[in-house]
Structure formats: C-alpha cells, structure tokens
Amino acid sequence: MCGIVGYIGKNQALPILLDGLKRLEYRGYDSAGVAVKTADGVFSAKAIGKIVELEKKIGEIKSPFPCPLVPRSGRRAPLLKRANTGIAHTRWATHGAPTEANAHPQTDCQGKIWLAHNGIIENYQELKTRLAAKGHKFISETDTEVIAHLLEDLYDGNLTATLIKVLKILKGTYGLAVLHRDEPNKLLAAKRGSPLVIGLADGEFIIASDAAAIIRHTKQVIYLNDGEIAEISDRDFKIFDADNNQVDKNVDQIEWDQAAAEKGGWPHFMLKEIFEQPESIANSLRGRFMAEAGRVKLGGLEGVAERIRQTNKIIIVGCGTARLAGLVGEYMMEEYAGVPTEVDYAHEFRYRKAVLDEQTALIAISQSGETADTLAAVQEAKEKGCLTLGVVNVVGSSIARETDAGVYSHSGPEIAVASTKAFTSQIAILVLFTVMFGRQRQMSLATGQRIINELIALPDKIRQVLALNDEIKRVAEKYYKFKNFAFLGRKYNHPIAFEGAIKLKEISYVHAEGFASGEMKHGPIALIDENFPSLVIAPLDSVYEKNYSSLQEIKARGGKVIAITTAGNGKIKAAADEVIYIPKTLEMLTPILVTVPLQLFAYQMAILNGRDVDKPRNLAKSVTVE
C-alpha cells in the first residue's frame, strides 16, 4: 500500500531515495518523507501531498539540507552529497490524518532511531500507554511511532538484536526499514505480511516495498520471508530469522526491465497498459499450449497434478477486480470442467466457516501477490488442509511463496492504480486452469482444441477492439457530464458489468453501478430516466435475447443506452443510442474482449473530467493492510 525505499552504498542516498519514491507513486499515498544519515547526524524532511512538495522542502540537492537536523554535535550540517545511507516513505493514512507529524520516517525521543513502516501494529495502543508511562513523548497519531520508542526503550547497543526483541512484542503486520544515528554503515529491514525486497548491486543495496524502485539499479534481488530481518552494510548483508539464526537466501532475477515500467511516450500509464493487452495476453499464454492434444501445460501446477485430479470443489478468492476475474472463472469451471466453484471476497472468507477439506482447492488471485486479505485467506485454507493455488503477476511475492503451487500471469509491471492488463491476464489464466481441470474430467479433445485455438487468436482480436479508441472517445464526449451510470451484463459478462462500473467510478469519480441484467426489473430500474444512462453488455451469446429484452425495458423508460455487442449484429442499432462492436469469439472468452472498450470508455471519461488517471484519489495499488 505505502512505499518504502532504503539505500546504503557508495553513492549519494537522497537522489536514489527520491527517485525510488517516484517509482512507487502508483501505489497510492498522501504524504512523503526522507531521513538520511551523515557523520553529523540524521536529516529528515516530510511533506503533505505529492513528492514534488517534499522536493520543494529539500531544495537543491547540492545545497545544505535545509530541514530539521538531529545533530551529533553543534557542527554545521554537511552537504548532502556526503550522505550515503537513508530511508524514505510514501504514506497512505491509516492511523492519523495526512500531516507532517504523522508522515514517515518516524523517530524516537532522542532522534537517534528512524524507521519507515508499512502495515498495521494491532497492539500499538497498549504499547503506547506503557511507554508513555515510562516517560516517552509521542508527537504523532501513528502506530508506527510506537516501534521507534520501543526500540529506544530496549536498545542495548546493537540495533539488530534490539529489533529482533521488538518484533516479538509487536502484533500485526510490518515492512520495516530502520537506521540508527550511532551505528554507522548499517541499515535494517524486516518483514511480516508486508512486502520487502532487497536489490543487490555493486557496492550498494536498495530496500523497497516494490521492485519498481530497484529495477533501474539492479535485477538481482532477495525477497524477505515473514519473520526475517536483513542487516545490510555497504559491503554485504546478513539475513536472520526471528530467533536470530542466520539463514541463507537465494538471489532471484527480476524478469522485466526498466523500460517496461516507464511511459515510453504514452500520456498515461493506464492508456499504455490498455494498449499492451495484446502482448500481455500473449505473454500469459506463451508456451502453455499443447494444441493438438487439446491440453495446456502449466509447469507451476505439475507437482500437484494428482491433487488437482482429486479436487471436487473450488473456492476462488480475491479483492476488487481480482475477485471479479474469479467470478468469470466460476462460470468457466462449472460449465466446462464440471467442478462446483464458489467465489468469495478474500476479506470475508477467513471470517466465515467455509466447508473445507483435502478435496477442496483454493485459488487466490492477486496482481501484486501481496494483498493482505488474500494472503490471509490462503493461510486459512492451508490450515484446513486445502490445496492452495495462486494466480499472481509478481514473481517471488508473498502469495506466490505461500501457496502450494501456482501460475504467474507474466503481464509485466502494471503501474496505473486501476487494473487493466493484469485483469484480462487473470481471466486468461483462469481459462487455462479450466482446460487443465476439464481435460482431467469430462472435457472432450475437440472442446479443448477449440478453446486453445480461440485463445491463440485473442491478441489479434484485442487489437481490433483497440482500434476503436477514437470511436469510444466520441461516445465519451457525449456522456462525460452525466453523473450516474448503470452497467448491465449476464452470465459470463455479469462480472464484467461490475468491472466496467468499478473502472468508471475509480478513475473518473462518476457514480456507476453494476447489475445483473435480470435484476433490473427487481428494483434498479426505478433509477432509470433520461439522466441515468446504461451500458449494456450484449454479445451474441446464449443469453443475448434476454439482454436485449433488458435493453428494451430501459429504452421504454426513457433511458439512454450504450451497447457492446458482437460484430455483425445490426438489429441492436434500432434500440441502442450507441453501439460498440467486438469480434466474434467463444462465449467464455467474450469477457476479455468486452473489458477493453469498457477500459477505454472509463479512461476517456476520466480525461474529459480532468482526473488524475494513473493515481486516482484515495486509492492504493497494492493493499497490504486488512
């Protein structure tokens, strides 16, 4: 959710820290801050709002740091270029409003210990009361500040050993970057339930909550597991477990490059990522077909193939857009694989008494692989003996490591907060799951081959839809001043109606609701008038006539209709005000093609309304707190 960057090495820390924060802006935040360590003390600057406000406070990098100084002595502050260790943070407010006092890094009474924190400390109030009684003075409303004071209270001259003691006291989740004024050449990182990755370069190390802040410096990374602590100098690093035992770690390679995380001439990341979908879908599918056999090859699932064969129930969990991909998967799994399937909000799954056993498979869907609620659902399912499978985009993420097996979507970095290419790739992966489960059961060779052939054709069909961008822009120009929208769909496109509504509301701030088409006459149709347009998803499929009836009911009540249908359907023009055509494909694959014009419509509506498309207000890309 929030962003952490830490640096120790041979170069100036501040430019690297600020650049790292900018690369994490897409995660969502409302304040930012830095703390850098020099021979004379720790310098800190914080600001409310965007990182540019923090830069204004800092001033020219080559000038003396004009921000609060906690000095070792009365000597004048050194130039920033002599500071080669520091931490930085972008905060998305949880405990306390966005203020400079609440911004990170947080510090102790003496200004010696500084830390940036992602996550939530559940027992902070109890700890705060205890520490205040001992004379500790708190200046923020955050749960994070408690960690700094607890470190101060227990400090024994060794920051690493003290941090290990403190972590055993804390309840909740954390990703931490910590430094101490009096321990030169040391930077600590710790993780429980909130992502942290360490980049390894020549004579320098970078801590970050996301590899996007690291990729321009190195592709060599180490992913911390829950309960692990990293002690880093400018020469080497050590990893310890919760009991202070040193552990060996594998060095992983980031698969994508810096250019993939940059705009490359596009006006916004979101538009770039919408137009990347032919390639992202192709990457999600590449090397995973055995076309002649009508089967798929998912290397990540080979080790659990027999358990998949024995599965008699599937539960799919996710949050937001990921859950909607799961709802599409539910239709696929039941229709083509014959496996009873449920879809649940990840944040509700752990609080209901789901009927689980060893023949149940839980599929967890998360772009980042760090969604806290989804990770907790995986852990709950494992506790009950379920087979846990992951569909994630980020290699080495927490869900990827926690699940028994899984499939990476390989859709590349997604920087815009609103999910586009990750969502369509998730659906594509669920098609592969369906073929795998189905071919183990009743799915015929011919059906498997037909699905695979249509999957192979998808990237070109997506390109045909993307060519409609100017036409969709003209539609948006007619409708961007409307304040309410209804999105309707049925069967496979029932979840896509909800997805279209989410996209419109989250980036344009226009109120939009998704409905199952059949539900309109059971209440929602009362909303319809000439000022409440509807977008009806009505491809030529098994429920087309029913969708067409819903469209006519809306028109009979004076409502305006934008329809999405299959190419060649001229009949719908007589009823709809606007028609957007998609190429013909299998019914189960129409959600992928339908999603693209909905994304473009939401994008164009947001631009016309003057919104910050890539970083909509109040939202975060990766929600790592419950």
Residues 511-542 have pLDDT tens digits of: 999 999 888 888 888 888 899 999 999 999 99
Q: Is the pLDDT of residue 60 over 60?
A: no
> What per-residue confidence (pLDDT) applies to 406?
94
70 pLDDT band, cuts 50/70/90, is very low
The DSSP secondary-structure symbol of 75 reads: S
Residue 551 structure tokens: 């469209």
What is the rounded average pLDDT of the residues 256-262? 65
What is the rounded average pLDDT of the residues 202-221? 88
> What per-residue confidence (pLDDT) applies to 1?
53
Least confident segment among 28-42, 113-127, 505-519: 28-42
Residue 154 structure tokens: 């227990």
Q: Is the pLDDT of residue 340 over 90?
A: yes
Q: Is the pLDDT of residue 566 over 50?
A: yes
Per-residue pLDDT reduced to its tens digit, 2-35: 889 999 998 889 989 999 998 887 766 889 999 9
- Which whole-number Å values give the CA distances from 564 to 245, 393, 587, in the listed order? 59, 29, 14
> What per-residue confidence (pLDDT) applies to 260?
63
Kindly give the pairing relationship between strand 534-537 and strand 511-516: unpaired
173 pLDDT band, cuts 50/70/90, is confident
Scan for tokens 């030169």, then name that residue. Answer: 184
101 pLDDT band, cuts 50/70/90, is very high
> What per-residue confidence (pLDDT) applies to 512?
96
At residue 218, what is the residue type? T
Structure-model confidence comparison of residues 115 and 38, the more confident one: 115
What is the rounded average pLDDT of the residues 555-578? 93
Phi and psi, residue 428, nearest 5°:
-60, -40
Give the separation between CA 190 and CA 180, rounded to whole angstroms. 15
Non-local CB neighbours of 5 within 8 Å, separated by 6+ positions: 16, 17, 20, 21, 24, 87, 88, 89, 177, 206, 207, 208, 209, 213
> What per-residue confidence (pLDDT) applies to 69?
40
Q: Is the pLDDT of residue 338 over 60?
A: yes
Give the separation between CA 416 and CA 321, rounded to whole angstroms. 14
Is 319 an active-site residue? Answer: no
What is the rounded average pLDDT of the residues 399-420? 90
Scan for tokens 């170069």, then name that residue. Answer: 11
Catalytic residue of the set 46, 128, 461, 621: 621
Q: Where are the alpha helices (DSSP H) in 442-584?
A: 445-466, 469-479, 494-508, 544-556
Kindly give the pairing relationship between strand 41-48 and strand 31-38: antiparallel
72 pLDDT band, cuts 50/70/90, is very low
Q: Is the pLDDT of residue 195 over 90?
A: no
**8 Å CB contact between 191 and 228:** yes
What is the rounded average pLDDT of the residues 48-52? 89
71 pLDDT band, cuts 50/70/90, is very low
Non-local CB neighbours of 109 within 8 Å, separated by 6+ positions: 136, 137, 149, 152
191 pLDDT band, cuts 50/70/90, is very high
> What per-residue confidence (pLDDT) applies to 620?
63
Which domains, and CATH codes, for the chain?
Answer: 3-254 (3.60.20.10), 269-463 (3.40.50.10490), 469-608 (3.40.50.10490)
**Mean of pLDDT over the chain:** 90
**8 Å CB contact between 164 and 244:** yes
Give the separation between CA 122 and CA 505, rounded to whole angstroms. 32
257 pLDDT band, cuts 50/70/90, is low
> What per-residue confidence (pLDDT) applies to 23?
84
What is the rounded average pLDDT of the residues 222-241? 91
67 pLDDT band, cuts 50/70/90, is very low
At residue 452, what is the residue type? I
Q: In which order are the strands placed within the sheet that holds 197-201?
A: 69-71, 41-48, 31-38, 85-91, 3-9, 204-208, 197-201, 220-223, 252-253
146 pLDDT band, cuts 50/70/90, is very high
List residues bridging with 342 in a β-sheet. 315
Q: Is the pLDDT of residue 624 over 80?
A: no
What is the rounded average pLDDT of the residues 570-597? 96
Residue 562 structure tokens: 């934008």
Burial of 102 (0-12, 13-18, 19+ CB in 10 A): buried
At residue 484, what is the residue type? N
CA-CA-CA-CA torsion sign (321, 326, 330, 333): positive
**pTM surpassing 0.85?**
no
Q: Is the pLDDT of residue 618 over 80?
A: no
Scan for tokens 């970083």, then name that residue. Answer: 615
Catalytic residue of the set 2, 67, 319, 386: 2
Q: Write out 413-437 in H/E/C secondary structure.
A: CCCCCCCCHHHHHHHHHHHHHHHHH
74 pLDDT band, cuts 50/70/90, is very low
> What per-residue confidence (pLDDT) applies to 328?
98
The DSSP secondary-structure symbol of 280 reads: H
Q: Is the pLDDT of residue 63 over 80?
A: no
Structure-model confidence comparison of residues 91 and 188, the more confident one: 188
Listed in order, strand segments (DSSP E) in 518-600 are: 534-537, 561-566, 578-582
Q: Buried b / exposed e across 195-213, counting CB within 10 Å, b at 16+?
A: bbbbbbeeebbbbbbbbbb
3-state secondary structure of 513: strand
Least confident segment among 239-243, 361-365, 590-594, 608-612: 239-243
